[in-house]
Amino acid sequence: MESLRMQLSERASELDSAQRRLSQLEKDLVETSLSNENYRSEVARLTAQADVTQSQLREARSQANWVDADLSNVHQVCGR
């Protein structure tokens, strides 16, 4: 009978330990999920910012091409 009580006590202790580990793993999972969501949000924000910057760069290059063309026309007119 004493042997059974010891085994039961050991099993209860193992169960308590497993429950504490499970609880900690659940907390870690929540923290990891929140971190992942923050990273996804940051990546989305940076991607949008990169898209805007690329659009601005294309627009600036297009304007530079127009300015170069206009300057060439001015030089041709002045050169004549």
Q: Is 42 helix (H, G, I), strand (E, B) or coil?
A: helix
Structure tokens at 31: 């923290």
Structure tokens at 16: 């308590």
Average pLDDT value over all residues in the chain? 91
pLDDT, tens digit, for every residue of 47-58? 999 999 999 999
Percent of the chain with pLDDT strictly greater than 70:
91
CA distance 20 to 26: 10
Q: Is the pTM of this model over 0.85?
A: no
Q: What radius of gyration do the chain's Cα atoms show?
A: 34
pLDDT, tens digit, for every residue of 12-33? 999 999 999 999 999 999 999 9
